[in-house]
Amino acid sequence: MRWQQILESKTVTCHQSRIHPPKTKMAFAFQRHCWAHPVLRHLVKLRESAKPRGVPEDIQTQIQTCIDCILARDDYCDEISSPVSEDIDNLIKESESHPWKEAHNEGKVELAVSAAMLSGSLEGTFLKTLVGMSNSKRVLEVGLFTGCGALAMAEALPADGKVVTCELSEYVGDVARKLVDQSPHGKKIEILIGPAKGSLEQLAVERQQFDMVFIDANKEGYIDYYKIIMDNDMLTPRGTILIDNALHGGQAYLPKDKLQLDESRIAQSHVMREFNDYVYNDNRVSQVMVPIRDGVMMIRRKEAFEGEA
């Protein structure tokens, strides 16, 4: 199996920042897998400690089999789903080879962004499917990065459809603009640069409404973004809000000592739990948690969620 190569590399660890070799497609995919699966992080740690402690070979093999099974499941979901367009495939490759670290060190990008932020092919196809099956015409995205999700959703829109997307960094927005404009669907994408809160407040003043909203930016901003959208009636009556990273690598549902994460990440552990609780207690909506990738929560107005007797 193709994962074997990366799993057998002694330099791979379960912490994102220490994955080696860094700029390969598999390394980024493995980063994303580890980030999303707390069980995988524990198993990788177990595998690392098994050999030096003299754990019998057959047990070590079983640990490896568990890791392989988790990876094979996600791999299969990706491979058996319809492939992304050539334009999105190209966008993903360009995002993976872009010198993000250098751009950050030179002060061009405010945040330490990386290709691990990409929504990727499986989630891109998922978003495209949802936009198409809901007959959405106007889509709002919070958190653009290089435009993978935005372009996937734009591809499902009619010719007069629109994706309005918010991105903090001008540099990242410029990279995204160039990449999405390589597609004939790029013209449907409008990029708003600056903190998303300000962009959303401006859209609210303009009384703009959206059929589909995809929130995929800084997690501590999610409650604000959700409130601006719901309190200002920015969601069309039958619209849907999609929340990315709703499971947040297990942080939404596991206690800290079960997370197997760096301290810096654990510091944020309450954020997604608080957001999910906020939505759960909001009487205006109904929601479902979909465990794809790092979790996507789908939220709709209660009236839209229920059928008629």
Ligand X SMILES: C[S@@+](CC[C@H](N)C(=O)[O-])C[C@H]1O[C@@H](n2cnc3c(N)ncnc32)[C@H](O)[C@@H]1O
- The answer to whether residue 154 forms part of the interface with ligand X (CB under 6 A) is no
- Among the candidate windows 59-67, 114-122, 264-272, 282-290, which touches ligand X by CB under 6 A? 114-122
| Residue 252 in contact with ligand X, rule: CB under 6 A | no
Contact segment (CB under 6 A) with ligand X among 8-16, 39-47, 112-120, 291-299 equals 112-120
Q: How far is the CB of 171 from ligand X (least distance, A)?
A: 9
C-beta closer to ligand X: residue 114 or 287: 114
Among 111, 112, 267, 288, binds ligand X (CB under 6 A): 111
119 in contact with ligand X (CB under 6 A): yes
200 interacts with ligand X by CB under 6 A: no
Select 49 or 97, whichever has its Cβ closest to ligand X. Answer: 97
- Region for residue 182 given its phi and psi (left: phi exceeds 0; alpha: psi -120 to 50; beta: otherwise): alpha
Taking the CA atoms of 269, 122, 287 and 237 in sequence, report the sign of the dihedral they define.
positive
* Piece of the chain touching ligand X by CB under 6 A; list 15-23, 68-76, 211-219, 271-279: 211-219
* Category of 13 on φ-ψ map: left (φ > 0), alpha (ψ -120 to 50) or beta: beta
Among positions 87, 96, 155, 167, the unique one binding ligand X when judged by CB under 6 A: 167
Write down the least CB distance from residue 119 to ligand X, Å.
Answer: 3
Stretch that binds ligand X, among 4-12, 28-36, 59-67, 212-220 (CB under 6 A): 212-220
CB of 165 to ligand X, least distance (A): 8
Q: Which stretch binds ligand X (CB under 6 A): 41-49, 139-147, 232-240, 282-290?
A: 139-147
Between residues 48 and 181, which has the closer beta carbon with respect to ligand X?
Answer: 181
Q: Is 27 in the site for ligand X (CB under 6 A)?
A: no
Query: For residue 260, which of 250, 268, 273 has the smallest C-alpha distance?
Result: 250
Q: How far apart are CA 78 and CA 1, in angstroms?
A: 15
Q: Is there a contact between 193 and 165 (Cβ–Cβ < 8 Å)?
A: no
**Please, what is the minimum distance in Å from the beta carbon of residue 61 to ligand X?**
36
Tell me the two tokens of residue 248: 């947040």
How many residues touch ligand X under the rule CB under 6 A: the total is 21
Q: Which is nearer to ligand X, 148 or 189 (CB)?
A: 148
- When asked if residue 172 is in the footprint of ligand X (CB under 6 A), the reply is yes
Q: Which of 12, 44, 71, 118 binds ligand X (CB under 6 A)?
A: 118
Report if residue 145 touches ligand X, rule: CB under 6 A: yes
> Which spans of this chain sit near ligand X (rule: CB under 6 A)?
111, 113, 117-119, 143-145, 148-149, 166-169, 172, 195-196, 216-218, 221
